[in-house]
Amino acid sequence: MELYKIVRIENGKVYTVYCDKECSEQEWDLDGFTSEGFGRKRVHVPDWVLDLKDNTPSSSSDDFEDAARPLVNWLCANKHPHHVVIVNNTGAELFEGTRSTTHIADYLKD
């Protein structure tokens, strides 16, 4: 499958570039871009999906550990071992365990 990004649309033309290789812009007629010939097989992929390729953080475990260390340090200095922090893209939540049970695996399905 070839994946390309729409760079601009002007004067009745759609201009694209391939995402996986270097090449010059390709020009397509706007009228049939999604309805004629190969266009019927075109699928829209939002820009944020295409941008993931370039914005994905390094998969290095060192990067992840470096990011986690300040929070772990704060947690150890300010809370007790029954506190847990859940972090997502927009914030963090602090939880305190007040009751627990042993590992219950009776209901797991194979």
For residue 100, the model assigns a pLDDT of: 81
66 falls within a domain: no
For residue 4, the model assigns a pLDDT of: 76
44 falls within a domain: yes
105 falls within a domain: no
Burial of 33 (0-12, 13-18, 19+ CB in 10 A): middle
- What is the distance between the alpha carbons of residues 33 and 14, in angstroms, rounded to a whole number? 8
89 falls within a domain: no
For residue 39, the model assigns a pLDDT of: 67
Residue 87: CB partners within 8 Å, gap ≥ 6?
A: 71
The model's pLDDT over 2-44, given as tens digits with 9 standing for 90+, comes to: 677 788 899 999 888 877 667 788 888 888 777 776 666 667 6
Domain hosting 48: range is 4-55
80 falls within a domain: no
96 falls within a domain: no
The model's pLDDT over 43-91, given as tens digits with 9 standing for 90+, comes to: 767 677 666 655 555 556 678 888 888 999 999 999 988 889 998 888 8
47 falls within a domain: yes
What total number of domains does the chain contain?
1
Overall pTM surpassing 0.75 (yes/no): no
